[in-house]
């Protein structure tokens, strides 16, 4: 499932390529035909992400809400302009200046060099680029729930969990159910809102971090890596975690989310440089501490990483580093 950084990257692409235009909105699959008819030809005026959900605003205060869920993805094609805040690897457009391979099963970005050309950019948990051949616009591929098309760019949505037109009041109702998202507002007040909500939970902190009503955007990968970085046992009840430790978790999420949005990959090992950084871009195991590393020695303490079923999801953690007593320190 795409985590918060991916949804923010997608939203920034909409802000760059669609806001201020009047896209034609269609539903090639037919399942969103009514909503498409309401939105088509209206000016897109805003694009926002909150956690794992995105909201596209159109004229007359109509909003398109999309939750990608497990299987959803956006494909962009055309003369795509990248948001300047994100890095493009394997291209001289990249802010890091680094060329070279990236993990093709993870999150890559557009690799067009020089003048814009018609390219296709898939944005979900993975971001992949292919050349667009033939007539413009390209024919929809697969079960496209929604297509947005302007003069330069087309965006196709497939497989979302949610896709609906909302009024401002309905948008507010959705937002009220979500916890804070530091990519939108990293303030002491929002951090305390997270701490207050977490302290009310008797469920394990490893479940609370993925509760979107407590904090928005964290998924399975970031959950495992944040708990490792904090040296926290995933099983300790959230209400037993000291407030100072919860604030540290918020601050670490701020850091990791910013890295993910900018780089396009969930880089959770800090201070990688040169060949080590290039290898981490190419190989998932080199950029994570515990995620999908079960049975291998911990990079920090040497204990074997454990995999267990936890809240109907897979949890990866290190019994050596993530000591229960860590959470009890004041």
Considering the chain, tell me which residue range(s) the CATH 3.20.190.10 domain(s) occupy: 4-174
- Tokens representing 4 are 């918060």
CATH topology of domain 180-328: Helicase, Ruva Protein; domain 3 (1.10.8)
Q: How far apart are CA 166 and CA 173, in angstroms?
A: 10
Closest by CA position to 41, among listed 16, 59, 66: 59
Tell me: domain 4-174, CATH 3.20.190.10, correct?
Answer: yes
Q: Is the pLDDT of residue 54 over 90?
A: yes
Q: Would you say the C-alpha torsion 87, 93, 98, 101 has a positive or negative sign?
A: positive
317 and 225 in contact (C-beta within 8 Å)? no
**pTM (two decimals):** 0.84
pLDDT confidence of residue 305 = 97
- Tokens (6 digits) for 16: 């760059």
**Whether residue 121 has pLDDT greater than 80:** no
Residue whose C-alpha is closest to residue 155's, from 132, 172, 180, 177: 132
For residue 253, CA distances in Å to 51, 54, 186, 290 come to 12, 19, 10, 17
120 band by pLDDT with thresholds 50, 70 and 90: low
The whole-number pLDDT of residue 71 equals 84
The answer to whether residue 131 scores a pLDDT higher than 80 is no
CATH 1.10.8.50-classified regions of the chain? 180-328
Q: Is the dihedral of CA 254, 256, 260, 263 positive or negative?
A: positive
Angle (CA) 157-17-75 rounded to 5° is 25
Phi-psi bin for 43: left (phi > 0), alpha (psi -120 to 50), beta?
A: beta
């Amino acid at each position: 499932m795409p985590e918060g950084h991916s949804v923010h990257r997608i939203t920034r692409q909409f802000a760059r390529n669609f806001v201020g235009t009047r896209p034609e909105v269609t539903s090639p699959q037919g399942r969103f035909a009514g909503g498409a008819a309401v939105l088509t030809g209206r000016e897109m005026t805003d694009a926002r992400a909150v956690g794992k959900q995105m909201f596209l605003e159109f004229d007359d205060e109509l909003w398109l809400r999309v939750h990608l869920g497990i299987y959803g993805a956006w494909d962009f094609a055309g003369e795509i302009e990248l948001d300047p805040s994100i890095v493009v690897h394997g291209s001289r457009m990249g802010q890091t200046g680094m060329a070279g391979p990236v993990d093709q099963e993870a999150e890559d970005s557009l690799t067009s060099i020089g003048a814009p050309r018609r390219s296709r950019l898939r944005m979900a948990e993975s971001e992949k680029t292919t050349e667009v051949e033939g007539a413009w616009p390209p024919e929809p591929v697969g079960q496209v729930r929604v297509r947005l098309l302007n003069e330069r760019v087309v965006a196709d949505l497939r497989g979302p969990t949610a896709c609906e037109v909302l009024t401002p009041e309905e948008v507010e109702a959705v937002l009220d159910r979500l916890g804070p998202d530091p990519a939108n507002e990293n303030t002491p007040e929002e951090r305390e809102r997270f701490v207050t909500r977490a302290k009310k939970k008797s469920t394990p902190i490893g479940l609370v971090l993925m509760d979107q009503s407590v904090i928005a955007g964290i998924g399975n990968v970031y959950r495992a890596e944040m708990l490792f970085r904090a040296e926290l046992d995933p099983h300790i009840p959230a209400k037993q975690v000291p407030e100072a430790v919860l604030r540290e978790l918020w601050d670490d999420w701020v850091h990791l989310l910013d890295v993910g949005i900018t780089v396009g990959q969930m880089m959770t090992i800090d201070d990688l440089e040169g060949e080590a950084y290039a290898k981490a871009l190419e190989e998932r195991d080199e950029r994570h501490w515990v995620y999908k590393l079960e049975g291998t020695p911990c990079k920090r303490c040497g204990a074997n990483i454990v995999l267990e079923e936890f809240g109907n999801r897979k949890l990866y953690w290190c019994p050596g580093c993530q000591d229960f007593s860590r959470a009890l320190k004041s």
